[in-house]
Amino acid sequence: MSPAAASPDDRIRSYEDFARVHAYLLAASGIPTSLHQRLYRKLADEVFDGGEAFSVEPCEGGRQRRLVLGAERTLGRESDVFLVDHAWSFRLSDALNQLREVPGLAERMAALMCVDLDRRTELEEADEQDNGNGGSLENALEVVEKERTRIQEKGSDFAPWLELEELGIDDDMLIALDLSSKFPNMVALNLWGNKLQDPEKIMKGIGECRRLKALWLNENPALKKGVDKVILDGLPELEVYNSHFTRKAGEWALGFCGDIIGADNPCSSAESIPLENIVYPQTTRASDPKEADIIWVSMQVDSELKNALGLTDQQYTNQFPFEACLVMKHHLAETIHKAWGSPEWLQPTYNLETHLSPLIGDYCVRKRDGMDNLWIMKPWNMARTIDTTVTGDLSAIIRLMETGPKICQKYIESPALFQGRKFDLRYIVFVRSICPLEIFLSDVFWVRLANNQYTLEKTSFFEYETHFTVMNYIGRMNHMNTPEFEEHQVKWLEIHGRIRDMIRVFESAAAVHPEMQNPFSRTIYGVDVMLDNKFNPKILEVTCCPDCTWACKCDTQALVGSQGVIKVKGSEFFDTVFGCLFLDELKDVSPL
């Protein structure tokens, strides 16, 4: 068997690459094909020329703004395309805190949007005075110490991403902050908009951060003094510098551009699959994918990858054809609807690309009847709750469609709680065959808890640690052994029985998409389940290549029917997986 192999280099190097990679986006945007090459050139050279051609002027008595073409220019139809840089880039979940915490941001946005705003506090005015006087070492140290405390809470293995933007930091202050010793594992540092001037002092301040992969020095005087060469020579691991790829750019930089890597998740998620835990004497690890009997990877095995690695159709892979009918959220709902109609275990779900009108109708009926009207927006095919939003505002739902294709699903407003916090359950399903259907359920499931007390206060909707339960992406992890999970006077074996019935959702795929069958496909899927306050299970999503790092690291216990509590070693998890899928063993699994 072979672990994941490196994917081919997909970086955009030419207009042809640009047109191929962004073909769907270009078509959806409506930009004429005659302007595609001009758009590519402006994007490549970062030509933000909108302000040179247009101006914004007030109208309607100052209540609105309009865009006006410069008097000296004439502009023919579809003759040019212009770029405008962002005034403020943010994730919706972070917007409220940024408006509150970033000095002057609320005022700038209010002026831009013609909103009257007079909310400056004495503290904000003092901060503005401090910034005007060149910044304060005490302020910068306070930010650094807060970040240091946060990182210590997350554990010693956490790689920090430090934001020190617009704090008035000069060369001597940077050295005094002693970042190299305080954050030896730092992977990203944002020093945008400070007062750094001397390249040698800058390197003295950060030169020992040998793992640094991203650095922003934009809008610092040092950029006019040849700091670039000093930085690039002195930081050999740097992949992103001032928002540009360096010659060392690789997987981390691509993950950053793809929004997979960021301040909340600073390390690449493409960690090696822990196959070293497999101890079966019948198995050896192949150094060349072509020689492996089993290809177990965390990327899509398509014809391009097969050709690149020399793989054949007679090698087992951990992917089924057309498994998108289960693992992409809009297809999962469609598959269930075709097979089961609208079962109670699936919340009302709408594909916003095709069913916006029915959603609006449902929303309006609920509003008229005084029913719960809170919804959760989920991208079709993103993990880690990226671009996921909880809202009860129909206008926001419609506007959020602009950030990419999504489903809109009725939010479980009254979930079962554990000690006042939300939780969900992660089950692992083993699939040997689709036709005939051979599926098994791991005897161990994982309870994942939110960190904060559950509330429906509107200001909490942006709080990840209140409304989401997977805490290994930000914050601290909250997992529990299942025997400890006892609070309500309910019979958990009955609930497990209902969940087992629901997990037969794979029957839906077999019935609706028999083309999934492939005798050389065997794999595991993660199935996420939540209980409402009446302990009825609701399916959340099905995940391919589920992250099993936690399962491999931690010993746990499980409640298994008449067997009572059994102990399961984490180090044996992948032994169980491969034993079930390839050796017909049923240790710690149950057939469905």
Alpha-carbon torsion 16, 21, 22, 27, what sign? positive
CA distances from 399 to 258, 356, 359, 402, 406 (A): 22, 12, 14, 6, 11
Domain boundaries, the chain: 137-257, 275-317, 324-347+415-591, 349-411
Helix (H, G, I), strand (E, B) or coil at 349: strand
- CATH code of the region 324-347+415-591: 3.30.470.20
Cross-strand pairs, 439: 431
CA atoms of 428 and 445, how far apart (whole Å): 7
The answer to whether residues 137 and 168 touch, using CB atoms and an 8 Å cutoff, is no
Q: What is the pLDDT of residues 307-361, one digit of tens each?
A: 877 889 999 999 999 999 999 999 999 999 999 999 999 999 999 999 999 999 9
> What local confidence, expressed as pLDDT, does residue 297 receive?
79
pLDDT band per the 50, 70, 90 thresholds, residue 118:
low
pLDDT band per the 50, 70, 90 thresholds, residue 134:
very low
> What local confidence, expressed as pLDDT, does residue 540 receive?
93
CA distances from 527 to 37, 160, 480 (A): 44, 31, 17
Cross-strand pairs, 528: 426, 541
- Mean pLDDT for 560-574 is 64
Mean pLDDT of the chain: 79
Topology, domain 349-411: Dna Ligase; domain 1 (3.30.1490)
Least confident stretch, 68-72, 117-121, 442-446, 516-520: 117-121
Nearest C-alpha neighbor of 347 from the set 302, 413, 282? 413
The answer to whether residues 161 and 187 touch, using CB atoms and an 8 Å cutoff, is yes
Please report where in the chains the tokens 């629901």 appear, as a residue.
502
Least confident stretch, 270-274, 343-347, 429-433, 484-488: 270-274
Helices (H) and strands (E) in the chain, counts: 23, 23
In 265-355, the DSSP E strands lie at 294-295, 316-317, 349-351
Q: What is the pLDDT of residues 516-526, one digit of tens each?
A: 999 999 999 99
CA distance from start to end of the chain: 27
Determine the distance from the C-alpha atom of residue 468 to the mean position of all C-alpha atoms in its chain, rounded to a whole number: 13
Nearest C-alpha neighbor of 241 from the set 271, 220, 268, 265? 220
Output 508 or 491, whichever has higher pLDDT.
508
Reported as half-sphere exposure (CB side, CA atoms, 13 A), residue 151 has a value of 22
- Mean pLDDT for 214-239 is 86
The answer to whether residues 65 and 59 touch, using CB atoms and an 8 Å cutoff, is yes
Do 137-257 and 324-347+415-591 share a fold?
no
Output 335 or 565, whichever has higher pLDDT.
335
CA atoms of 469 and 529, how far apart (whole Å): 11
CA atoms of 331 and 38, how far apart (whole Å): 36
Torsions phi, psi of 377, nearest 5?
-95, 130
Architecture in CATH of 137-257: Alpha-Beta Horseshoe (3.80)
CA atoms of 195 and 224, how far apart (whole Å): 12
- Mean pLDDT for 49-65 is 79
Query: Over pLDDT 70: what percentage of the chain?
Result: 78
**Residue 33 burial (10 A CB sphere; 0-12, 13-18, 19+):** exposed
Residues 6+ apart with CB under 8 A from 331: 324, 325, 380
User: With 60 as the cut, is the pLDDT of residue 272 above it?
Assistant: no
> What local confidence, expressed as pLDDT, does residue 363 receive?
96
